Amino acid sequence: MTVDDGAKMAGMSATASLRRDPARGVLAGVAAGLARRVGIDPLIVRVGFIAASFAGGFGLALYLLAWALMPGDDASRAPIERIAGKRETWLVVLGMMLLALAALLLLREWGLWFSDAIVWPVILTAAGGALIWRQSTATEEPPANRPAAAARGESRLPSVSLPRDAVGRAFVGAALVVGGGLVFLWLNGALGAARDVLLAVVVVVVALTLILAPWWLRLVRGLSAERTERIRSQERAEVAAHLHDSVLQTLALMQKRVDDPREVAALARRQERELRAWLNGRRLSGDATVALALEAAAAEVEEAHGVPVEVVAVGDAPLDERAQALVAAAREALVNAVKFAGPVALYAEVDDDHIEVFVRDRGPGFDPAAVPDDRRGVRESIVGRMERHGGRAILHTAPGAGTEIELVMKR
């Protein structure tokens, strides 16, 4: 693309969208931007704004509104977007507010009205209250790279704090509620009396704050420390389970195949790739759904251990975080089975409510109570992992009776 082409495209983009044009503008470039958008002389728009300003200041209000909503020509965001977040949301909110205001004015004109002293404060307070309640349901964006975040020790529990945008909107809501109350008092002639009461309340609140602040701070710090410790503990368990499933298992395989340097090098390369992918928060290809991920895990185990693994999957589901934990637990169950029991079968059933996976072998079986404490395979990588993600793992085994591990995860 040549420089001229770029300039043409930039020009086309500028004319296609409604943007302020400060370079050709007198004040903020609103009239120039509007004129460019509709293809007329900016002077006509300016005359229109000035004429409308003499009609009760409507033109001035319209100019300010347009300035707040129109982004700049240099790809800068609109002022209201810089202050309050997504521009389209505010356009919809403003549009609906204006339509509601028009409807209210019509009702007032028709006499279907209580009183100005009641309706306007109630509307302001209700709008502010709705805004505050809406923000109270907003949650912090979860870390995009869950495994990488886990590796860095970041939280995967929902945060109790609000996003910055939500805090700003909650303040606007609080201001509307307080404003509604003040307007109500003013319109009902009770602002003077309310001032005395308010002063007394402020004094009491300040005194209580000074008295209770140390205890409150200690409580908040204690809760925060407890939460941090809980998160760290969970992350440690998750990292330990992953290292056991991947690195330790590969090292064990490499010891078994020490006579074959090429095989050992291949195992090391594959483990390195898998570990790097996990640290970078990427999944290996071919595992976008539960069934595909189970088949990939089975193929990987079959290839690494040279023992056949039969997979039957009924139904399928997207591979979300909990499903990933289930697949990891199933993979560990497969590894245990091929190591100790020979050929193994995996049966998966996915319905609207649950994902169930059964890993069966006809090996010698074992006594779970006799497993030493330092063996983490079943206890941490299967049972612990499933429980940490809200699922359960049930072990059906006995010496001489084969083994079946049942994994159940809610969707």
Partner 1 sequence: MRPLDRTSLVAGLVITLAGAILLLDRLDVIDVRFGYGLPLLIATVGAILLAAGLEGPRDRG
Contact pick of 87, 322, 331, 376 for partner 1 (by CB under 8 A): 87
Of 92 and 252, nearer to partner 1 (C-beta) is 92
Contact pick of 84, 91, 162, 408 for partner 1 (by CB under 8 A): 91
Q: Is 191 in the site for partner 1 (CB under 8 A)?
A: no
3-state secondary structure of 199: helix
Of 97 and 220, nearer to partner 1 (C-beta) is 97
Contact pick of 11, 41, 50, 58 for partner 1 (by CB under 8 A): 58
Q: Is 65 in the site for partner 1 (CB under 8 A)?
A: yes
Contact pick of 64, 83, 92, 223 for partner 1 (by CB under 8 A): 92
What is the spatial distance between Cα 392 and Cα 407, in angstroms, rounded to a whole number? Answer: 6
Residue 227: φ, ψ to 5°: -65, -40
Q: Is 90 in the site for partner 1 (CB under 8 A)?
A: yes
Of 111 and 306, nearer to partner 1 (C-beta) is 111
What is the spatial distance between Cα 243 and Cα 274, in angstroms, rounded to a whole number? Answer: 11
Of 91 and 240, nearer to partner 1 (C-beta) is 91
Q: Is 313 in the site for partner 1 (CB under 8 A)?
A: no
Binding track, positions 93-112, relative to partner 1; x by CB under 8 A: xxxxxxx-xxx-xx-xx---
Q: Is 247 in the site for partner 1 (CB under 8 A)?
A: no
- Residue 168 C-alpha from the chain's centroid: 19
Minimum distance of partner 1 from residue 80's CB (angstroms) = 11
Tokens of 150: 């886990």
Q: Is 88 in the site for partner 1 (CB under 8 A)?
A: yes
Of 108 and 146, nearer to partner 1 (C-beta) is 108
Strand partners, 403: 361, 397
Minimum distance of partner 1 from residue 98's CB (angstroms) = 3
Of 9 and 198, nearer to partner 1 (C-beta) is 9
What is the spatial distance between Cα 22 and Cα 7, in angstroms, rounded to a whole number? Answer: 18
Size of the site for partner 1 (CB under 8 A): 27
The long-range contacts involving 259-264, CB below 8 angstroms and separated by at least 24 positions, are none
> Rule CB under 8 A: which of 9-38 touch partner 1?
13, 16-17
Minimum distance of partner 1 from residue 56's CB (angstroms) = 9
Q: Is 60 in the site for partner 1 (CB under 8 A)?
A: no
Q: Is 5 in the site for partner 1 (CB under 8 A)?
A: no
Q: Are 375 and 355 in contact (CB under 8 A)?
A: no
Minimum distance of partner 1 from residue 103's CB (angstroms) = 7
What is the spatial distance between Cα 100 and Cα 104, in angstroms, rounded to a whole number? Answer: 6
What is the spatial distance between Cα 360 and Cα 261, in angstroms, rounded to a whole number? Answer: 32
Q: Is 44 in the site for partner 1 (CB under 8 A)?
A: no
What is the spatial distance between Cα 246 and Cα 301, in angstroms, rounded to a whole number? Answer: 11
Pairing of strands 309-314, 344-350: parallel
What is the spatial distance between Cα 69 and Cα 5, in angstroms, rounded to a whole number? Answer: 29
Contact pick of 62, 84, 162, 182 for partner 1 (by CB under 8 A): 62
**Burial (0-12, 13-18, 19+ Cβ within 10 Å), 147:** buried
Q: Are 410 and 391 in contact (CB under 8 A)?
A: yes
**Burial (0-12, 13-18, 19+ Cβ within 10 Å), 327:** buried
Residues that bind partner 1 (CB under 8 A): 13, 16-17, 58, 62, 65, 69, 87-99, 101-103, 105-106, 108-109
